[in-house]
Structure 1
Amino acid sequence: MLKKLFNIKSGEGLPTLILFIYFFAFVALGITGSAARDAYFLNMVDRDYLPLMFLAVAIVLTLTIDIYNRLSKNRDLIHTTTVSCLVFALSLVFIQNNLKGWVIYFLYVWIEVIILIIITQFWILAADVFNPRQAKRLFSLLGAGGALGSIIIGSSINYFVSLFGSENLLFVTIGFLGVVILMANLIRPYRNINELKIQSTKKDEKQQSDKLFSPYLKSLAVIIGLAAIASVIIDYQFKMTAVAVFPNQDDLVSFFGKYYAITGIVRIIIDLYITSRVLSRFGILIAILILPISIMIGSVGFLLSPILATVFLSKLSDQVFKFTFHNASIQLFWIPVKRAIKTKLKPIIEGSIRAGLQGITGVLIFIAVTIFNIPIHYLSLSIVLIIIFWIIKSFPLKRLYVDALQSAIEKRQLNFEELTLDIQDQTMVKTIETALNNADDSQQIFALDIIKDIPLSPWKRSLNRLLNEGNVTVKKEILNISVNDKNIIDDQQIIDLIETDKELDIDAITIAGKRGLNNAESAINKHLQDSEIEKQIIAAAALNIIDPDSSKVAKKLLIDALQSTDEKLISLAINQLSFDNEILSDDTLIHYLNDSSFVIRNAALFVAETRRAPKFLPEIIYSLADSRSAIPARTALTAYNEQDVINILIKYAQDSTARKSLVIGIIRTLKNYPTEQSIGIILSKVNPKTPSIQTEAVDALIHIARETPLKEKDIIITKDELINTARYVYEIIIALSQIEDSNDNQLLRYFLQNEVRKLIPVIMKLGIMDKPETQIETYIQYVQNNESDKLSYVIEFFENIFSKYEREIVNSLIDSISIEEKCLVARKRFDKLMTDLNQFLGYYITSSQELKVALTLDYALRSNNQKILNNINWETLPESFVIKEIITRHLQKHSDSLKTLPINQYLLD
């Protein structure tokens, strides 16, 4: 019952209880230690030095944090917590027995050290135990442990003081340090540390030091610092006003106890019932703004009416909201930070930096009040200015938080810088020269690829050497890049290769044809009688280019090749006749563009790209339907007028009779033409009822958005389609919940589950169209593979970029909740929802997808469900073997129930 009340899931109960007690003990020791310290200081020494104690705290905390980091580095955190708490306990025993003089000043500072170290250790341990999704649910509950501690301990201080005196309060603090040690050791089995411990050298640390304080952490440090400054001023105003009203030490301690009890009551209500709801419903930005706004209201009140009641309200706001909304938000801000960086910087930011700012603030207060005699309520003016800056800085922090979440869950990608070459750059020339002279063939090929589109003259000597000495692959690549450059490979070299090199003769013949080398005719003619038919065709094509009227034998070879039944010969001849409209006319080329062989079709596409005749466009576009020809077809289209291509692509995409494969091919092509027209047609194809087309359309939109951001009106459409697709997925889930989980229904259930699995990535992609830089493919892998350690980060990311409505319906699909819970979300969030199984499967049985129809038909016949069967259009029902087998099988078992159905044409012999 308690688990349900506090939204604690299976396996979370015991670690939550341990950390709840842990935080209770921390707050208890903080209250008792702070109450004792403040009472001793304000009554036993000169209270005018209070602002300077803030400076002393800052200096000591800075040194302590540095010492703590050095001592705890590469050590187990729980062991460190145990040792540090023992040191704190022993030191407090000494202080308790020597409460006079400098010891009181030391105690004031030392309590701050104890609180800082313990709270830092606690939140790091809590982050090790709970992931971000759990943290958002449970951190507020842990905070309630602290609030409960405030109530119980605060209200008990007066009773304790009346029995034992305020001078013995530190013994209670020591007792709670023992509870902290116990809880820290009990939580050990529940820690989940996935990061590898990497031993780094001092040199490595120095190189990385500048990278630790990212813009995100700098913004976070600013918010923490501003909160600290405001808190110091309010704390000073509160304590000075309180001691003026309660000059007696025991009365002052009792007042502090009542104050902590009241703050505890308010905090526990907020922690248990409000914090998590605010974070989940309104997001982290609203939660982080509550503290500064409430402080501003209280400070304005104290400025206008400087009495204990108004400063109490200001201090209450600081104490309550700092440890509820603000603290929960700050811990969420730390979640995306790498544990190694968090361990190093969290104590610095929340310790040294915060304490340093508090110290500076203390000095400024001392100067303002002691030297310039400024009334303490005027200090509230500075708080108002701080709050304004605080609110302004909170907005970019939210954006950086989303970026940090992305960084925490994405794979790191290698970013290759663009390589540009300047042949006047002698360093670059020498670098390429070195690669060409490398004994590694792959290095030579790489160098040749780099220089293929620039003048080759600086490397003429090396290229000729490789043409003589390199391996065949290197030689062929050299010939390929120097086809039209006679200064690198001269004509005579080409003729020599034709006559003497059997490995390169085909390449050399092709170059001779392209160069129109009349001197090579005799050498090429010899290859017309070659034993290899491929060489004959290439030689014939070269001669046909050099002198079309010189050889009837060459023409006959080419014509015979085109008329053969060998697809390889036909494609070879087509490739060789790119510019020959006599042998390979445009009409003949169109015939080959429609050929059933993709090998022939691809060769024809190459020629169509070369000729660039608009009459080829329909045939090129039809080739997009075959994945084996899609790439050559898209390449061919790049040679044509862009607007002509877009117009005809849209025309065929809008054809209701177009094959699904053609529509998919067109969508894949349209993403390379990101005009308003093409984006509009792609958006029109985002329909969950045609999942394969929808998937391609969404992928195309992401591709376009990553190049050029989509317009706001297009983003709105994608958001609407996200909702429509999510509705359809929930309808599938509701249908699944109504289909009995039995062996007979196994295939249908698996099919429906697979439909959900395919549509969830589509929904995730639709959700980030306004943030296309998101590496959503990585997130999808985490969800599809059910990687629970990363899934929580994905959901947390979506919670910060989606609207409240979107994140509930999307995250409920992704999250590991039961099918019943998902159905409840669906019924709660959608007004129009198909919840009737017969209606849903009635739609399925009219689908054009054969497997969907077959599985639904089998289910309807087995259950004799007339409502589903009545939806069948027997004229369009596929006459496939599977359908016939299902109907025949059921007829043999239940002939009576099928007598009224027109099934004769669907019966197997």
Structure 2
Amino acid sequence: MSKKNGYWLNALNIRPNEWWLVKKLFIMQFMQGAGIAFFFTASFTLFLHEVGITKLPYVFIYASVLLWVTGFFYSRLEHRYEIGKLAIIVTVFIAVSMLLFRLVFAYANGEWFLYGMLAWFNVLYLLNNLEFWGLAAVLFDVRQSKRLFSVISAGDIPAKFIGYTLALLTVEYIGTINLLWAGVLCMLASVPFLISIKKSANLLEHNHANHGHQKHSDHKITTLAENFAGNTLIRRLAIITIIVSACFIIINYAFYAGIKEAYKDDVSLARFIALFMAVSRIIAMGVKTVLTGRLISRLGIIKSLMITPVIMILMIIMVLIVRTMPGNEKIIFYLFGATAIAIDILRSAISTPVFITIMQPLPTHERLRAHNILKGIMDPFASLFTGLLLLVLIQYQPHADLTNIYYILLALGILWIIGNYRVNKEYLKTIINTISSNYFNLQNFSIDDSDTVKWVKEKVVSGTEMEVINILKMLDATKSVLFNELVVSSLQHASEKIKAAAIQLIQQKNIPVEKDILLQVLANNSSNVKASALQTLCKTGVDYQLVLPYLNDVDASVKAAAITGLINYGDGIAKETAGACLQQLVHSALPADRINAAGILANLHQYNSGWRILQMLPEADNAVRKAVLMAAGKTRDSLLLDQIIAHLVTDEPVALQALFLAGENALPFIKSTIADKNTPQLLQEKLIYLAGRISGSKAHELLIGLLTNKKELYKPVAKALFRSHYSTDRGPKFYLEGIARELLAHSAAIVYMQNVLLQNKDKYQVLINAMQIELCDLRDALLNIFAVLYDREKISKVRTAYNTGKKINILNALEIIEMLVRKDLALHFNVINEPGEIANRMAELHELYPDPFFKKVEQVLINILADETWSYHYWTMACSLYTAGQQQHNVGRTLVEKYALAENILLRETALFVKLTS
């Protein structure tokens, strides 16, 4: 492609692989737009001249009926024919209907023909919209739609400009009605382009994917109504459509009323209408082709939707101000003219493309139905509503005073803005739903009557395990005054599972319980229940002589509970006796006894058990050593935590779990270990994830600090922050956004690297794949940061969409990013991570990062191998070394020597291979 073409594609925000299809659609719309412009000029001019402006509301009412009938038949045909064939049928039908109007005109007498002709223009406009946007909706995805819909639909703007200009120049010579001949020729000229589009791969793929759906679809028009009622997004768009159409019709009616007063014959009237429409179309052309796509991408959906109603309200307020001035008729006329131009331009250049874009996340069949609802049902309804409204106004204001309808427009503008916010909210929900796809009710649970209390008390003693557990949970959640009583009552239940749960609640909530009840539980249950009951019994200050026999129990858990309870809560001889039993376990020759001793030491209070655990740490038996390390973690003793860190080399999994048990007390030791240059990278990452598991403000402070001091660990740090449910306040939010910018710049650098390597793809495919893995990791880290900064749940949907690997899901996910994430970050993220050819992304990347990062493969390899800021995968670095050796790229002997001493065996072996072969 030439540089000149590349410049224009970049200016229009079109990617090279999209140009063929965009060009065809543009020309097709150009031809059809010109044809409809000729028909409109002729029909509208003749109507205003022969009938008058005050009769125009009747046309709106007649047109509404015709539009509903047309929408019905179109929806039936849409199920019968695939979209490409249907577009051709509709285009030929439009041309034939124009021809019939021209032929019948010579024999038609009376105003009825002019009413029908102008009403038929609305039918032609509807059919043109349905077939064109039906094609566009299935040819482009949601991301393309934001860039391209304004461009492809801009074809009708120069067409109408040329059509209106030709009408302006020729109407004096050929007569108004003969403009229809030009309209017929233009419509037929678009058919070859439609045939070409019909044969394109894009449309063939769509037809194949949706053949089954079309075959089995419900052909009834009630399906449209059901879709309207069942889909909130479509319903809200439909309401906005009525408001938009009503505003457009009322403004144009008021303006044309002024035109009719100024121009008396049909030729001068046709010339003015043609001039007015030509000027508005040429302005719209500039806005639509150059600005709209970029504007929507930059501003997003909601701000783009707001442009038109806000400008309309401002213009109406100006009319309100001017109305108070003397001699204001002409000023108001021109203000309405400017308003009509502005709304016409903004409606076609922004509102319509944005509305179609909003429907893109819907499944294809729902998307087409939604378009039929908006154009085939709501537009006619708006026409009917506005026609009746104008008839009422004319009844009371026969002279159509232009300033007397601004109140209605102002009210409609406010409703329009409110509706836009509601549509935007539902649009986000729709994207998320597109990606995604028997408990008690606390509000209905109450025990404020005697019968319910009686029933609950019976259930906690005789109900099933699930019933009792649920009742206790509900009582706890509702803070019932019966909770303590019923927990104690549940100790009488036959199930040992219920008794164990009740004792656990008694310990957690410090529920008072009589010792006789605990002694009864102790006497008649299994060892697990006995152990829990013993500890609880010791807390009650019971006669410890009752507990001493359990120090010799054959069951280890019961014995441990007795020792723990007596040492923690006993006194005198009982405490000493329990201490002696513990010493026997510590020094026992049996590993099981030593394991039991470690567990007991971990649960002792005010016993100075730390030095005893320290004595047990040099344990040869793996199982015992594991138990001792766990006990050391539970004590949270600084001396023991230092010993646990030392055991990371030999007992890594157990030591990590012990540090987790220590909680925030372990964080200083974790921090110093991560900062130690001798700590292997893999262990550093595990410690970072451990800090995330510990969570809390101190853990978050540690993780945030690592993002500054050790950026090479950004991947595990970002994931740990996400997993720890970290949320930002104002300060860290600004800081994390800065980190996100750095990661995006690094991601852009990787895309530039890939672009350099792709120039010789066969030689560098392995390294290209490795760089793609790096890019995926960066994307995941960014999503973790975005989840922390903005909306955790919705960003998680984005991650899910990428995991599916489906392009449509990913494109919808990028829309979520655009709506939630800060605009500059969202723009960079979407450019870098949008699926498709890298050449397409490079064009937009050059706008974000204009200076080329890399020009030669050697620069890429050296950047990867010498980088100390960001940590590349061992695999990526090994691929770079291997590529340097195989392709004879000089990366410097120092770098090769550096990796010949690497701790990672893959890197070390690859570096040695390169040394031997170079």
Root mean square deviation, CA, Å: 5.8
Q: Give 1:609 shift.
A: 7.9
Amino acid at match of 1:637: G
* Rounded Cα–Cα distance in structure 1 between residues aligned with 2:401 and 2:839: 59
Q: Describe the SS at the equivalent of 1:722.
A: helix
Q: Does 1:794 pair with 2:813?
A: yes
Q: Describe the SS at the equivalent of 1:147.
A: helix
From 537, 546, 550, give the equivalent of 1:515.
537
Please give the per-residue CA displacement for 1:684-727, whole angstroms capped at 9, x wherever unaligned.
32269755x322332354467x675x233322222221221222
Contact 2:660-2:693 at 8 Å conserved across structures:
no
* Rounded Cα–Cα distance in structure 2 between residues aligned with 1:539 and 1:780: 51
Contact 1:860-1:868 at 8 Å conserved across structures:
no
Q: Does 1:721 pair with 2:739?
A: yes
Q: Does 1:104 pair with 2:127?
A: no
* Rounded Cα–Cα distance in structure 1 between residues aligned with 2:95 and 2:306: 37
From 837, 840, 859, give the equivalent of 2:863.
840
Contact 1:594-1:619 at 8 Å conserved across structures:
no
Contact 2:61-2:384 at 8 Å conserved across structures:
yes
Query: What's the counterpart of residue 331 of structure 1?
Result: 356
Contact 2:563-2:579 at 8 Å conserved across structures:
yes
Q: Does 1:589 pair with 2:613?
A: yes
Trace 1:486-501 onto structure 2 (pairs within 5 A): 490-491=517-518, 493-497=520-524
Query: What's the counterpart of residue 898 of structure 1?
Result: none
Change (3 A) 1:645 1:337: same
Q: Give 1:732 shift.
A: 3.8
Change (3 A) 1:463 1:848: same
* Rounded Cα–Cα distance in structure 2 between residues aligned with 1:650 and 1:495: 46
Trace 1:692-771 onto structure 2 (pairs within 5 A): 693-702=713-722, 708=727, 710-736=728-754, 750-767=769-786, 769-771=788-790
Trace 1:219-368 onto structure 2 (pairs within 5 A): 220=237, 224-284=241-301, 287-288=304-305, 291=308, 305-306=330-331, 313-337=338-362, 346-349=371-374, 356=381, 361-362=386-387, 365=390
Trace 1:32-47 onto structure 2 (pairs within 5 A): 32-47=38-53
Q: Describe the SS at the equivalent of 2:707.
A: coil
From 432, 440, 448, give the equivalent of 1:407.
432
Total equivalences in the alignment: 868
Q: Give 1:244 shift.
A: 3.9
* Rounded Cα–Cα distance in structure 1 between residues aligned with 2:125 and 2:894: 73
Please give the per-residue CA displacement for 1:61-107, whole angstroms capped at 9, x wherever unaligned.
78658956996897767488788889878877886635534443344
Q: Does 1:812 pair with 2:831?
A: yes
Amino acid at match of 1:843: A
Please give the per-residue CA displacement for 1:215-237, whole angstroms capped at 9, x wherever unaligned.
x964x566545543442233224
* Rounded Cα–Cα distance in structure 2 between residues aligned with 1:656 and 1:588: 33
Q: Give 1:814 shift.
A: 0.5
* Rounded Cα–Cα distance in structure 2 between residues aligned with 1:717 and 1:9: 35
Q: Give 1:32 shift.
A: 3.8
Trace 1:460-479 onto structure 2 (pairs within 5 A): 464=492, 466-467=494-495
Amino acid at match of 1:753: Q
Please give the per-residue CA displacement for 1:395-414, whole angstroms capped at 9, x wherever unaligned.
846963773465355425x9
Trace 1:543-562 onto structure 2 (pairs within 5 A): 558-559=582-583, 561-562=585-586
Please give the per-residue CA displacement for 1:533-557, whole angstroms capped at 9, x wherever unaligned.
7787678778888899579998777
Moved more, 513-522 or 777-786: 513-522
Q: Describe the SS at the equivalent of 1:694.
A: helix
Q: Does 1:682 pair with 2:700?
A: no
Moved more, 388-397 or 784-793: 388-397
* Rounded Cα–Cα distance in structure 2 between residues aligned with 1:868 and 1:211: 66
Amino acid at match of 1:330: F
Query: What's the counterpart of residue 149 of structure 1?
Result: 159
Trace 1:531-542 onto structure 2 (pairs within 5 A): none
Change (3 A) 1:351 1:86: same
Contact 1:125-1:191 at 8 Å conserved across structures:
no
Trace 1:117-136 onto structure 2 (pairs within 5 A): 118-120=128-130, 122-136=132-146
Q: Does 1:574 pair with 2:633?
A: no
* Rounded Cα–Cα distance in structure 2 between residues aligned with 1:431 and 1:88: 75
* Rounded Cα–Cα distance in structure 2 between residues aligned with 1:46 and 1:113: 21
* Rounded Cα–Cα distance in structure 2 between residues aligned with 1:594 and 1:12: 70
Please give the per-residue CA displacement for 1:346-403, whole angstroms capped at 9, x wherever unaligned.
5555565555555555555555566446664435855884697489659846963773
Amino acid at match of 1:42: L
* Rounded Cα–Cα distance in structure 1 between residues aligned with 2:616 and 2:909: 40
Query: What's the counterpart of residue 641 of structure 1?
Result: none
* Rounded Cα–Cα distance in structure 1 between residues aligned with 2:308 and 2:345: 9
Contact 1:432-1:447 at 8 Å conserved across structures:
no
* Rounded Cα–Cα distance in structure 1 between residues aligned with 2:648 and 2:73: 65
Contact 1:406-1:774 at 8 Å conserved across structures:
no
Contact 1:623-1:629 at 8 Å conserved across structures:
yes
Contact 1:28-1:153 at 8 Å conserved across structures:
yes
Q: Describe the SS at the equivalent of 1:305.
A: helix
* Rounded Cα–Cα distance in structure 2 between residues aligned with 1:72 and 1:437: 66
Change (3 A) 1:586 1:871: same
Q: Describe the SS at the equivalent of 1:791.
A: helix
Query: What's the counterpart of residue 325 of structure 2?
Result: none
Identity %: 16
Please give the per-residue CA displacement for 1:274-318, whole angstroms capped at 9, x wherever unaligned.
332333455556654554576678875996735987765544333
Q: Give 1:761 shift.
A: 1.6
Query: What's the counterpart of residue 900 of structure 1?
Result: none
Q: Give 1:869 shift.
A: 2.5
Change (3 A) 1:100 1:746: closer
Could you tell me the TM-score, scaled by structure 1's length? Answer: 0.75
* Rounded Cα–Cα distance in structure 2 between residues aligned with 1:446 and 1:202: 49
* Rounded Cα–Cα distance in structure 2 between residues aligned with 1:678 and 1:552: 40
Q: Give 1:131 shift.
A: 0.7
Change (3 A) 1:449 1:19: same
Amino acid at match of 1:505: S
Contact 2:882-2:910 at 8 Å conserved across structures:
yes
* Rounded Cα–Cα distance in structure 1 between residues aligned with 2:171 and 2:501: 92
From 848, 868, 871, give the equivalent of 2:892.
868
Q: Describe the SS at the equivalent of 2:791.
A: coil
* Rounded Cα–Cα distance in structure 2 between residues aligned with 1:620 and 1:714: 32
Change (3 A) 1:304 1:325: farther
* Rounded Cα–Cα distance in structure 2 between residues aligned with 1:326 and 1:332: 10
Trace 1:611-630 onto structure 2 (pairs within 5 A): 630=656
Contact 1:20-1:145 at 8 Å conserved across structures:
yes
Q: Describe the SS at the equivalent of 1:685.
A: helix
Please give the per-residue CA displacement for 1:790-829, whole angstroms capped at 9, x wherever unaligned.
2222334444555665345322320235556666766654
Q: Give 1:126 shift.
A: 2.0
Contact 1:601-1:629 at 8 Å conserved across structures:
no
Amino acid at match of 2:797: T
Amino acid at match of 1:665: L
* Rounded Cα–Cα distance in structure 2 between residues aligned with 1:12 and 1:570: 73
Moved more, 96-105 or 553-562: 553-562
* Rounded Cα–Cα distance in structure 2 between residues aligned with 1:891 and 1:448: 71
Amino acid at match of 1:811: N
Q: Describe the SS at the equivalent of 1:816.
A: coil
Change (3 A) 1:622 1:823: farther
Change (3 A) 1:330 1:571: same
Query: What's the counterpart of residue 501 of structure 1?
Result: none
